[in-house]
Amino acid sequence: MGHLQDNGFKVDAIDTDEMAAIKASHGITPDILGCHTAEVGGYTIEGHVPADVIRRLLSEKPTNIAGLAVPGMPMGSPGMEGGMPVSYQVIAFDMQGGRSVYEER
């Protein structure tokens, strides 16, 4: 949340016991599961997706995806600084289970 706020995004955090249902309704399946779920510009953002990648998504406005995900909590992703950074992928996903690499970090 802090990473997005630090990069100019307005964040309204909501605590709920319904996260599993919310994630499922937005096409989030175990293979792309992260720790945070957000909605921005009609897209779902799952996990530690960097703010500049979200800005790219909002600029490009692809119509064939539902959102972006960074599965797990890879070291070096926003909010996971410290320790030994690892390479990770930002995955574009659709509601039919389609997956593609949107960007690699």
pLDDT computed for residue 62 by the predictor: 97
SS3 22: helix
pLDDT computed for residue 7 by the predictor: 76
Mean pLDDT by 10 residues, the chain (105 residues): 79 89 95 93 96 96 97 89 91 96 96
Give the predicted TM-score (pTM) of the model.
0.89
Hey, where are the domains in the chain?
2-104
Q: Which residues pair with 104 in a beta bridge?
A: 89
pLDDT computed for residue 46 by the predictor: 97
pLDDT computed for residue 1 by the predictor: 67
